[in-house]
A and B are shown apart, each in its own frame.
Chain A
Amino acid sequence: MSVLDFLHAKSGDSGKLPSNSFIVLANLDQAALDVLPQAVYLCAGDGRVIRCNERAVELWGRTPRLSDPEERFCGSFRLYRTDGSFLPHDQCPMASALQSGESFQGLEVVVERPDGQRLTILANIAAFTDGDGRINGAINCFQDISERKCAEERQRELVQELNHRVKNTLATVHSMATFTARDANSVADFSSRFEARIVALSRAQALLSECSEHGAGLRELLAQQLQPFGAGESARVHFDGPDVELRPAAAMSLCMVFHELMTNAAKYGPLSVEGGRVSISWDVNRERTLTLDWVESGGPPVTSPERVGFGTQLIRRTIAALGGKADLRFEPSGLSLRTSIALHDEKRGGP
């Protein structure tokens, strides 16, 4: 840009560069051109490429034959517009500049190299006129902005993904509110249950955002879901099993499952009385299937609920949605859940 800025400063307000500058440029030492960090080339009035620097050759992926009338307007192999359509050399910005004498700043063009690789470049073109207003030639300073384009594309995708997740979460919260309302027997009851569910959901979300896109550890997830129940109750929850990494969907779902189980245990189950316990144990077999047992003992005698509540449905459905099995039993000695879920192996392309 510095070369162009310098020349523009010389040209005053006309925008067109005086031709003596062109002669100076055309005769610049090659070493002076090559030292420029940006790609530069010069075309004569008829479009022949008369000078170019190392950086231009590097970006084009080829060396143009200088002053060859067969090779005009640009030293690149092929050009495309940013919408992907083919751009013939004789219609490229340089060709327009030579025809109209106009200057172009910040034009995005796609260059294809002979090996097929494509780069997005940002071109700045200025035409030179002689005393009679004839166009003698033009200079194009361009830079590779492919990386920036990639980053922009990635950012667009991320925003889209975020938007999708936010809406999905809202849909889940909305459904959860509807369902909690059906089970609740008072506004206060609704409010406390709904709040606890939202908190469980946001804890799961927080855990996932800390654990990157690969998922979360089962042990951390359990510890985190027990946290709101206080040390006294948590101490009566015993868990044992190997380190297991859960994919995000499974982690999210199991968080909700553990929340429903813990809430139930604290309100009506073993954690509502002295001496009650919850034991959680799990293992992973060779087929990478996780089998987890949640066993309650020492609580008040359990009777099968008259109707299937939100918690029970959520547990069954959630695990079914993960492609797993859930065996939830209301035995007099305590509630128990045996669940098995396939842990998708990342290497085999699981989600």
Chain B
Amino acid sequence: MRLILLEDDAVILMCTQEALTEAGFEVLPATRGSEALALLSKFSNVVAMVIDVNLAEAPDGWEVARLARQILPDVMIIYTTTAGGLSYKTHGVERSVLLEKPYTLERAVSAARAAATPDQ
């Protein structure tokens, strides 16, 4: 199962990517929003996107998720943020989950698994 991981902190990106890869996902890493969206347009069968909300460069994670849904309406969204759930209520897209940072790798993997099997 293929997913896009958008995270601009190199260390966190590395770690999360490795954990998700070990869990059996094919992970496409991106460090900026435009890059993540380009990957989404280029690759088929992307089931989910793990999106860091607070990115150093525009567009931010909220915007990336909205644009991603225009490209692929079915893609599941997992937001990661340090800021808590407050803006999620107003900025998050439907059918998405929020993963608060710092997150354990187990949580990241279980969130990705849940997102990849939406029927459950």
A-side residues, CB < 8 A to B, are 160, 163-164, 167-168, 170-172, 174-176, 178-179, 182, 249, 253, 256, 310, 313-314, 317-318, 320-321, 323, 351
Contact = CB atoms under 8 A, between A and B. Distances in A.
Given A168-B9, A313-B14, A318-B10, 8 more contacts: A164-B83, A168-B54, A171-B12, A172-B9, A175-B9, A253-B10, A321-B10, A351-B57
Contacts of B13: 317, 321
A344 B82 CA distance: 25
Interface of B: 8-16, 18, 29, 31-32, 54, 56-57, 82-83, 101-103, 105
B105 A171 contact: no
A172 B11 CA distance: 6
A314 B15 contact: no
A176 B13 CA distance: 11
A164 to B, nearest CB: 5
- The 4 residue pairs across chains A and B that have the minimum distance between CB atoms: A167-B82, A171-B102, A175-B15, A318-B10
B10 A314 contact: yes
B40 to A, nearest CB: 18
Given A164-B82, A168-B82, A174 B102 contact: yes
Contact of A178 (B31, B57, B83, B105): B105
Given A171-B102, A321-B31, A351 B12 contact: no
A154 B9 CA distance: 26
Contacts of B32: 323
14 contacts: A164-B82, A171-B12, A175-B11, A175-B15, A178-B15, A178-B105, A179-B14, A249-B8, A314-B11, A318-B10, A320-B10, A320-B31, A351-B56, A351-B57
Nearest to A313: B14
A179 B15 contact: yes
A170 B56 contact: no
A172 B12 contact: yes
B89 to A, nearest CB: 17
Contact of A317 (B14, B54, B57): B14
